[in-house]
Amino acid sequence: MKGSEEDAKLETMSEAITAAVPAATEIEHTGPVVSAKEVTRRYGEGDTAVDALRGVSLDVGRGQLTAVMGPSGSGKSTLMHILAGLDRPTSGEVYIAGTEISKLGDNDLTKLRRRHIGFVFQFFNLLPMLTGEENVVLPLTIAGTKPDKAWVDDLLSRIGIADRRTHRPAEMSGGQQQRVAIARALVSRPTVVFADEPTGNLDSSTSGEILTLVREAVDTYGQTTVMVTHDAHAASIADRVLFLGDGRVVRDIGRSSSTDILRAMEEIGSR
Amino acid sequence: MTAFALRGLLLRKLRTALTGVAILLGVAMISGTYVLTDSISNAFDAIFTQTYRGTDAVVSGKSAFNLSDSGTTTDPSFDESLLPKVQALPDVDAALGGVAGEAQLIGRNGKAIVFGGAPNLGFSVDPTQARFNSLTLVSGSWPKAGEVVVDRSTAGKKDIAIGQQIGVQAQGPVERLRVSGLVKFGAVSTIGGATLAGFDLKTAQHLFAKVGRLDQIRVAAKKGVSPQKLQAEIRSILPPGTQVRSGNQQATSDAKDTNSFVGFLQKFLLSFGGVALFVGAFVIANSLSITIAQRTREFATLRTIGASRRQVLRAVILEALTIGVLASVIGLFVGLALAKGLFKLFDAVGFTLPNNGLTLETRTIVVALVVGILVTLGASLRPALRATRVPPIAAVREGAELPPGRFHRFRGIGAAATALLGFAALAYGLFGSGLGTTTVLLSMGVGALLIFVGVALFSSRIVVPLAHAIGFPATRVGGAAGVLARDNAQRNPQRTASTAAALMIGLALVTLVATLAASIIGTFNSAVDDLAGGEFYAITAQNNYSPIPVSAAEAAANTPGLDGLASVRAGDVQVFGNTRQMTAVDPTIGKIITLNWKKGSQAVFANLGESGAFIDDGFAKNHDLSVGSGFPILTPTGRNIVLTVEGIFKPPAGGSPFGPVTISSKTFDANYAQPENLFTFVTMRGGVTDANKSALEQSLAKFPNAKVADGDQFKKDQASGLKSTLNILYVLLALSILVSLFGIVNALVLTVFERTRELGMLRAIGMTRRQVRRMIRAESVITSLIGATIGIVLGLVLAALLIVRVDEINFFTPWGQVVVFLVAAILVGIVAAIFPARRAARLNPLEALQYE
């Protein structure tokens, strides 16, 4: 019982904080949306300890699509988890919309994610018992806010699932499910969307459609997006491509063709 | 494969433990029952052996026929002149005469000392004949004239000290006696809640209104004389109405009532153990089904690398077997603790049982283990068979699910057919004519079992609409958490239904007994109103049912302001070859009680005379009697009387104050050794007032065992015994509800485990830990309310069926209790969710993003 009282207290506190956060965003309007300063992440202790990140600093620019690439074990997933407030750095600082998150409690962090972060997962992660539309507005439902109908309608038709709004995930193709997941990430107009291998579980033509959608969201809504991928073709739609190797940022290039990206990967791999 | 199965269990320790608890509790109930009843039997054996130690033969009074165990009639006493004749026999070494009876001790507050329904034993003691004396003096001295010894335990509880005066009431008004000493009964630590009072022979004969008479002569043979020879010798001088038996035979005869009571208690408690195990079987089947569904890929992998279906089957059954063995062994020992708890429980509801240490028989161990293991194995069969149907291809498929069974299509029909078959069996048992008791009980038991299984299987069809309705408040109060909880409850209707089924069974039984009790009490109350209205007083024993001496009513008759007074006596009688309860009434009773006469009128009461009787319509029909017919009866004293039917009445639904045959109290008193009243009804001028009540109490001051109650209080008092029984039933059924609680916990833990990724996603997109907890809790409450709703409805239906069968009861719905049960179900849901909700809330959101 004591726990839930504390929770209640925390929740009121965090509501106050969340209320204050947008103001902070306004102030930092011109600054980076997400930034990391000398972030390290170590898993385990002693001899078996693994350093997933060994000091990463970066800023994610507003309205940009940033791709994070790297071979398995390069730390790209860990970096994304930390930037998204799902995991905490062992050392260093992470700012999301101007708030330093490494000191926040679980409740405040949850509220921060609610307000500022959208997710697209590799395996879609839709709730099987909800319809397409219910899945899309789920973040708003959880936050207890009423969805703006016009906005949701607009979003659904732009994403191309207006005709799937009453269907359940089991009645949809993989591509349709991922479209629903993208709409779900965008519905709360988050400060930044993190996409984790969004095409990793789709065939190549569906992948192309999904990548187009991600790009359109950046162009149409100015949606800041961070996409983790190991697919050079996917990374080629990004405004900026970061390469991670062995827990560090090893290369940081602007918009590139998939050929250039592949070459960069080879170079990193051969070093 | 064996190693594989056992490793799997170790890996899933928590789930294994939760599954095992379900069986553990049922086994504990079974072993606890055996331990309890064996212990009681042993204690009684010790009591009776102690009573007749050193006794080679017992002479006692003999009724003309075998008496019922109603306690209204005892064997007649005989003249004490027999004692010197027995003592004079050549082979008799010693003989001791004694009397016994109910003797109420009166506490310092002027109230009779009664512990629950336990007897208040009074008897003569003779310390000079130590060989026959089953009492041991703890302190003080043996009683002389005008003195009493009291058992140590009662004295301790009621603060009775040697040297003080204490009130004792037996057949006459209360008398003051000096406490000369405290005693204990042999080596038995407690003799239930019974109180003991020992007197010298003359005092005892006076108290029990048996002056010059004896109830028993105990005889010891001379050295070298066989008990048979001694008995034969005594038998040759016995007058009619007496008999001689060996000490052992007498002990067996005395133990007859207690043995049948212990036997009943054993069956009664075992049936609750059976219910708990039945519920446990549901829980196990459900848990195993869920685990197996979750391990689809694991089984498929095993199949791809070459495991046969048989091996998969064996692995799953071995798992269940291991759980069953462990749970049964632990349950066996938990049963010992439970037996202690049951002693305390019965004690707490005023029903103290004798206890002489716990007894663990080999039979207890064997039955508990065999039943526990078999039930677990039986419950695991279906899930195990499903596991064998996992195709190897499922190993490489994302989100593979168990294939539906071959008979999946017929599931709904099969479930409905099972339930209908159950109802048919139940109805056959209830309404079938000319069935033996065993057939009736068997078909009702099997019927109930089938109904529960059928309803449990069928309920997956109604889970969705039920969850929708029940979950509605949750969606209003709980926001997103509530909405998701409701959706989750509807998501796998079969699983929700199976989880809820365990609770459904418990609540159906609880509702059944509550409804039966409410109906019995309700019908009884309206019967009293029909018979006597509300403006009367009833004089009963303090415990509401023991017979009280006729002298109490005689004392009450002198109350100023008395308008009418009439008593109802009762005793055993043999009529048409059966032992029945016969009642007797005062001629004035027609002023107070109005019967529904089919033949005759209220005037019958006053005109019964010497040989008149009125009978109920059932008795009249069975024996083809009408007004004017004569029929013979045999009294316990051996008198044959021919009665003439003067009137026939229809007993009111809810209970009749009169038995099948009722005669005048004058004839009754002439033919029964010690007539006693069951009730005395009184009407006062001015009706029911405080002044009238205290006037009645004033005139009964010398009869502390008598209680004055007005009509309303009388109804409540008569229902109070039923209410304590009901409370015992609630506690016993709570066990099966506890089992189902574990079932819900287990299902939720498994569900949380299964939805790890989903919960991680919800946390990632902004669900707080508190919301997660709320969601799991709401799902749990919805599940338990589904079980409660179906269970309560089923309980009401079953009760209605039983009540339709029994004409004497009308249906009353216990609304108050139904509300209490629903609240209890909500509590069960909340408690069951505590642990799983905490686990769910602690999940790391990263889980959502991790893939194999």
Q: In angstroms, what is the C-alpha Rg of chain A?
A: 19
Tell me if chain A has a CB within 8 Å of the CB of B771: yes
Look at residue A9 in the predicted model and tell me its pLDDT.
Answer: 46
Residue B846 near chain A (CB below 8 Å): yes
Return the pLDDT at A31: 67
On whether residue B195 sits in a domain, the answer given is: yes
Residue B766 and residue A139: Cβ atoms within 8 Å? yes
**Whole-number Å distance between alpha carbons of B390 and A75:** 38
| Predicted confidence (pLDDT) per residue in B268-282, tens digit | 888 888 888 888 888
Of A77, A110, A139, the CB nearest to B768: A110
Confidence at residue B398, expressed as pLDDT on a 0 to 100 scale: 56
B146 falls within a domain: yes
pLDDT at B404: 62
Least confident interval from A6-10, B151-155, B286-290, B603-607: A6-10
- Kindly state whether B847 is in contact with chain A, defined as any CB-CB distance less than 8 angstroms: no
Instruction: Decide which of B461, B483, B504 is a domain's last residue.
Output: B461
Of residues A50 and B826, the one with the higher pLDDT is B826
- B852 and A CB contact within 8 Å: no
Q: Which of B704, B727, B761 is the last residue of a domain?
A: B704
Q: Chain B residue with minimal CA distance to A186?
A: B765
Q: Which residue has the higher pLDDT, B507 or A25?
A: B507
Residue B540 lies in a domain: no
Domain that holds residue B126: 55-258
Q: Is there a contact between B766 and A110 if contact means CB atoms under 8 Å apart?
A: yes
**Residues B665 and B620 grouped into a single domain:** yes
Task: Choose among B765, B773, B846: nearest Cβ to A142.
Answer: B765
Element (H, E) at A67: strand A65-69
Radius of gyration of chain B (CA): 33
Structural domains present in chain A: 2-270 (3.40.50.300)
Would you place residue A17 in the very low, low, confident or very high pLDDT band (cuts 50, 70, 90)? Answer: very low
> Cβ–Cβ of B767/A144 closer than 8 Å?
no
Mean pLDDT computed over B585-601: 89
* pLDDT over 70 at B518, yes or no: yes
B693 with B796, same domain?
no
pLDDT score, position B512: 92
* pLDDT, mean over chain B: 86
User: Are B227 and B281 in a shared domain?
Assistant: no
> Is B776 part of the contact surface with chain A (CB cutoff 8 Å)?
no
What pLDDT is recorded for position B828?
Answer: 94
Q: What is the pLDDT of residue B783?
A: 94
Is pLDDT at B792 greater than 90 in this prediction? yes
Q: Which of B461, B483, B500 is the last residue of a domain?
A: B461
What's residue B187's pLDDT?
A: 62
Contacts of A196 in chain B (CB under 8 A): 849
What's the rounded Cα separation, in Å, for the pair B143 and B163?
11
Q: In Å, how far is B461's CA from the nearest CA of chain A? A: 17
Helices (H), chain A: 2-27, 76-83, 106-116, 132-143, 149-159, 174-186, 204-221, 232-235, 258-270
Q: Do B849 and A130 touch (CB under 8 A)?
A: no
Q: Domain check: are B531 and B634 in the same one? A: no
* Predicted local distance difference test score (pLDDT) of residue B548: 85
User: For residue B495, is it within any domain?
Assistant: yes
Contacts of B480 in chain A (CB under 8 A): 138, 141-144
Distance CA B14, CA B744 (A): 14
Distance from CA of B756 to the nearest CA of A (A): 11
pLDDT given at position B477: 83
Half-sphere exposure for B636 (CA within 13 Å, toward CB) = 28
B745 class by beta-carbon count within 10 Å (0-12 exposed, 13-18 middle, 19+ buried): buried
* Sequence-separated (6 or more) residues with CB below 8 Å from residue A106: B768, B769
- Smallest Cβ–Cβ distance between B851 and the set A107, A113, A122 belongs to A122
B851 touches A: beta carbon within 8 Å: yes
Beta bridge partners of B214: B78
Closest Cβ opposite residue B491 in set A81, A128, A144: A128
A11 and B770 within 8 Å at the Cβ level: the answer is yes
Pair B253, B177 in one domain: yes
Closest-CA residue of B relative to A111 is B766
pLDDT of res. B409: 67
Whether the CB-CB separation of A114 and A139 falls below 8 Å is answered with: yes
Cβ within 8 Å of residue B575, ≥6 positions away: B582, B631, B632, B633, B634, B660, B661
Res A266 pLDDT > 70: yes
pLDDT of residue A10: 44
Instruction: Using a pLDDT cut of 70, give the percent of chain B over it.
Output: 95
Answer yes or no: do B450 and B480 share one domain.
no
Predicted confidence band at B848 (pLDDT cuts at 50, 70, 90)?
low
Cβ separation A123–B769 shorter than 8 A:
no
pLDDT of residue A44: 83
Give percent above pLDDT 90 in chain B. 31
Name the closest residue on chain B to residue A7, using Cα atoms.
Answer: B770
Residue B479 and residue A141: Cβ atoms within 8 Å? yes
In this predicted structure, what is the pLDDT of residue B121?
Answer: 86
Nearest to B848 among A106, A121, A129 (CB): A121
Listed in order, strand segments (DSSP E) in B223-323 are: 242-245
What b/e string do you get for B598-618 counting C-beta neighbours within 10 Å, with b at 16 or more? ebbeeebbeebeeebbbbbbe
Residue B761: which of A7, A125, A143 has the nearest Cβ? A125
Query: Is B762's Cβ below 8 Å from some Cβ in A?
Result: yes
What's the residue count for chain A? 271
Q: Which range among B6-15, B526-535, B560-569 shows the weakest confidence by mean pLDDT?
A: B6-15
Q: Which residues contact B434 (CB under 8 A, 6 or more apart)?
A: none
A83 vs B contacts (CB less than 8 Å): none
Contacts of B758 in chain A (CB under 8 A): 125, 127
The reply to whether residue A144 touches residue B480, judged by beta carbons under 8 angstroms, is yes
For residue B174, give the 3-state DSSP assignment.
coil
Q: What is the DSSP string of B84-127?
A: HHHHTSTTEEEEEEE-EEE-EEE-TTSSB---TT--EEEEE--T
ipTM confidence score: 0.81
- Tokens 């249906």 -> residue: B811
In this predicted structure, the answer to whether residue A18 has a pLDDT above a threshold of 60 is no
pLDDT at A1 over 50: no
Nearest-by-CA chain A residue for B477: A144
Q: Is the dihedral of CA B294, B297, B298, B302 positive or negative?
A: positive
| Count of domains observed in chain B | 5
CB contact under 8 Å between A4 and B773, yes or no, is: yes
Contact B631, B619 (CB under 8 A): no
CA B813 to each of CA B511, B515, B816: distance values in angstroms, whole numbers, following the listed order: 9, 6, 9
Distance from CA of A206 to the nearest CA of B (A): 19
Q: Do B491 and A123 touch (CB under 8 A)?
A: no
Q: What is the pLDDT of residue A72?
A: 81
Test the B interface: residue of A104, A112, A142 with most B CBs within 10 Å = A142
The number of helix segments (H) and strand segments (E) in chain B equals 25, 25
DSSP symbols for A187-199: TT--SEEEEESTT
Closest CA relative to residue B507, chosen from B780, B786, B172: B786
Domain assignment of residue B239, yes or no: yes
Confidence band, pLDDT 50/70/90 cuts, at residue B189 = low
Confidence band of B779 (pLDDT split at 50, 70, 90)? very high
* Gap from B496 CA to chain A (nearest CA, Å): 14
∠ CA(A90), CA(A95), CA(A101), 5° rounding? 55
Closest chain B residue to the Cα of A138, Cα to Cα: B480
Q: Is residue B541 one of the residues assigned to a domain?
A: no
- Whether residue B484 lies within 8 A of chain A, CB to CB, comes out as yes
**Both tokens assigned to B39:** 């212990």
Closest residue of B to A200, CA-based? Answer: B851
The per-residue pLDDT for range B690-730, each reduced to its tens digit, is 889 999 999 988 888 888 998 888 888 888 878 878 888 88
Residues of chain A contacting residue B751, judged by C-beta atoms under 8 Å apart:
none
Q: Cα–Cα distance between B776 and B753 in angstroms, integer?
A: 12
- Cβ proximity of B28 and B338 under 8 Å: yes
pTM summary value = 0.80
What residues are paired with A67 via a beta bridge?
A: A227, A241
> Residue B479: its chain A contacts at CB < 8 A?
141, 144
CA distance A81 to chain B (A): 7
Q: Can you give the pLDDT at residue B249?
A: 83
Q: What's the one-letter identity of residue B650?
A: K
For residue B367, the surrounding DSSP H or E stretch is: helix B362-388
Q: Measured between CB atoms, which of A114, A130, A142 is closest to B487?
A: A130
Count of C-beta atoms within a 10 Å radius of residue B75: 18
d(CA B802, CA B805): 5
B745 and B803 assigned to the same domain: yes
Both tokens of A238, joined, read 């990004």
Tokens of A70: 């790297």
Asked if residue B297 has pLDDT above 90, the reply is: no
Average pLDDT value for residue range B50-74? 79
Chain B, 678 to 737: residues with Cβ < 8 Å from chain A are: none
Residue B355 DSSP one-character state: B
Higher pLDDT: B437 or B815? It is: B815
Please check whether residue B386 lies inside any domain of the structure: yes
Q: Strand B104-106 vs strand B165-169: parallel, antiparallel, or unpaired? A: antiparallel
Are B236 and B364 within one domain?
no
**pLDDT score, position A19:** 40
| Chain B residues whose beta carbon lies within 8 Å of the beta carbon of residue A11 | 768, 770
B308 and B346 in a single domain? The answer is: yes
pLDDT of B386 strictly over 80: yes
Q: Do B364 and B279 reside in the same domain of the chain?
A: yes
Which residue in the set B490, B761, B768 is minimally distant from A107, CB to CB?
B768
- Identify whether the C-beta of residue B647 lies closer than 8 Å to the C-beta of residue B601: yes
Does some domain include residue B542?
A: no
Interval B760-787 mean pLDDT: 93
| Nearest residue, CB atoms, B758 vs list A110, A127, A196 | A127
Answer whether B763 touches A (CB < 8 Å).
Answer: yes
Closest CA to B595 of B622, B631, B568: B568
Same domain, B476 and B384: no
Contact list in B for residue A144 (CB cut-off 8 A) is 479-480
Higher confidence at residue A160 or residue B191?
A: A160
Task: Mark whether B789 and B824 lie in a shared domain.
Answer: yes
- Say yes or no: B670 contacts chain A, CB-CB below 8 A: no
Neighbours of B552 (CB within 10 A): 25
**At A84, is the secondary structure helix, strand, or coil?**
coil
Q: Which residues of A touch B766 (CB under 8 A)?
A: 110-111, 113-115, 139, 142-143
